[in-house]
Amino acid sequence: MKAYEDTLLEPILSEKADIERETGVYVFKVAPNANKPEIKKAVEMIFKVKVVKVNIANMKGRKKRVRFRFYTETQGFKKAYVKLAKGQTIALFEGI
């Protein structure tokens, strides 16, 4: 069994994530091999909250121009939308 800290890599702090946070949904960048039950358990154990639902999205890397005519692709990642029970929040995001 892997550690819970290895499942959640970092929170995603964007405008879209801010809008989601108002409805009780928090967005995290997660390990590429993590699944929904592992993500749910990790959030519940680390932040001591009750998770209602987890959705996962695999984000594809974007094309980036390098030099005059060459393109490369940035690395993709997996993100998780975690919905908490009503009335619960994660203190990590309160100061933002």
Task: Name the CATH superfamily housing domain 4-86.
Answer: RRM (RNA recognition motif) domain (3.30.70.330)
pLDDT given for residue 93 in this prediction: 61
Instruction: List, run by run, the mean pLDDT of 10-residue segments along the chain (96 residues).
Output: 84 92 94 95 94 96 89 94 94 66
Could you tell me the pTM of the whole model?
Answer: 0.86
pLDDT given for residue 95 in this prediction: 59
Amino acid at 15: E
The domains of the chain are located at 4-86
pLDDT given for residue 32 in this prediction: 95
Q: Per residue in 29-49, pLDDT tens?
A: 999 999 999 999 999 999 999
